[in-house]
A = this chain, B = another copy of it.
Amino acid sequence: MRLFPSLNLFSEVFQQSTDQTMRVFMKQRWISILRITAAIAAGVWFPLRVVFFDALVPADFAVEGVVFTIAMVSLFRNTSDTSRSEMWLSVLESVPLFLLFYPALGSSAELLAIPKILLLRHLFRIRDLLDSMDSLHPVLARILPLSAIVPIVMHTVACGWIFLGSGTAGTDPEPWVEYVRALYWTVATLATVGYGDISATTPLQMLYASITMVGGVAFFGYVLSNVAAMLARMDAAKEQHSALLDRVETFMRFNRVPPEMRGQIRDYFRYVWESRRGYDDSFVLSSLPQKLRSDLHLYLNSGLIGKVPIFRDASPEMLHDVLAELKTLIVVPEEIIFHSGEPAESMYFIHRGSVGVYSAQGEQLAILDEGSFFGETALITANVRTATLRAHTYCDLYVLHRSALETVISRYPEFRTHIEKTAQDRLRMRVA
């Protein structure tokens, strides 16, 4: 499974489109990217500035400017579907109040930056953004947002810790050392490691640590359990196959199935897994509307269609109709598909594997390979099988039941002609 998003993620972001709906969609995506950028910039910068800076620094102008510009661009490019309350929120979170009032209020203007917290809600757009990128595995689209949100939460908690005095770690001439220590304390607390080399001293710090533990531990636990669940789902097919195998093994142990039979049963499940990866076609197909289902069916069976002569030059309509009626069947080596003399109920197409044709006396008449079909003779000209068919290898067969065959033949007489001709050729051969 290809886990890491390749470069076409970037090409997707920058792709052009002439389609009107698509262009609106692309504009929306760009606005999302801009707002997420603004949210990250504000989320990173403001806690830092509160803790480490007294005077105005260039970064203040940069961040406030970026946030404001992005908000204005988003509002004016996106007016159609913006509610009135959403517009006011946008204004509230983006107006650079801190800058405007700093000359008057000094450092205490930092309180006016509190509405910037609202910007963080744009981080939830990350999931929608990634969901809309087709080249990304859908599970990743749900894990990546966490890798943006978790660091910002940690950063904020760490800055709060510095603000309250850093506990036993105290202040440090080097701000970055102070920051690393606070981050270390934060991670040790959220991950419930709690070394205790740095700990709270004042009652306020103790309350802060307590809240961080309760809230943060819950948050961390939630994130971890989610990620685990998602990773588990990435290989759901393999997991389901393993569960089936487990049940089969326990069953065989309890019933003391002899080793030889166990081997055959295991081989069978190995074959099924290798040839189909355990993906149950029918589940996916049944959740699609008819046209897509039939298109997909046609695509999936293009191999079979290329191999079976009567399908090769059939019209698409007929193919649709025939394929819709086919059922798959796996037979194991030496399995007898039908006995000579049995009543005939269906005909078969070989998708993979080879099958031997035997007379009632057990004499081998022919070997049929991929792309052959058999069993049509009895279905059309007579009522009982005229030969015994036995699988030589594992075979993937497609079965067409009598009633389905009759429906198809009634609609497409050319199908009947082709099959009857083959049937007569074979009958003559066997009689000869």
Contact = CB atoms under 8 A, between A and B. Distances in A.
A184 B188 CA distance: 16
A265 B236 CA distance: 20
A258 B237 CA distance: 21
Contacts of A189: 193
Which interface residue of A183, A188, A194, A217 has the most chain B CB atoms within 10 A?
A188
A180 B192 contact: no
A148 interface: no
Contacts of A30: none
A82 interface: no
A415 to B, nearest CB: 18
A213 B193 contact: yes
Interface in A373-418: none
Given A138-B249, A261-B299, A299-B258, A184 B209 contact: yes
Contacts of A300: 255
B222 A225 contact: no
A299 B209 CA distance: 52
A187 B213 contact: yes
A299 B225 CA distance: 40
A191 interface: yes
A27 interface: no
A228 interface: yes
Interface string A276-297: 0101010110011111100110
A247 B183 contact: no
Contacts of A250: 236-237, 279
A214 B236 contact: no
Contacts of A231: 222
Given A192-B191, A209-B184, A224-B218, A177 B203 contact: yes
Given A183-B210, A218-B224, A289 B251 contact: no
A134 interface: yes
Contacts of A336: 291
Interface in A169-216: 176-177, 180-181, 183-184, 187-189, 191-197, 199-200, 203, 206-207, 209-210, 213-214
Contact of A187 (B137, B184, B214, B244): B214
Given A188-B209, A192-B192, A196-B195, A332 B292 contact: yes
A54 interface: no
A184 B236 CA distance: 36
A84 B22 CA distance: 39
A169 to B, nearest CB: 10
A206 B213 CA distance: 19
Contacts of A329: 289
A281 B251 contact: yes
Contacts of A192: 191-194
Contacts of A213: 187-188, 191, 193
B249 A265 contact: no
Given A194-B194, A221-B228, A247 B284 contact: yes
The 8 closest A-B pairs by CB, nearest first: A193-B194, A196-B196, A184-B206, A291-B335, A195-B196, A197-B199, A187-B210, A180-B203
Given A180-B207, A192-B194, 14 more contacts: A139-B246, A184-B200, A184-B209, A191-B217, A192-B192, A195-B195, A233-B246, A236-B247, A247-B283, A250-B279, A264-B295, A289-B332, A291-B335, A292-B332
7 contacts: A139-B246, A177-B203, A180-B203, A184-B209, A184-B210, A187-B213, A191-B213
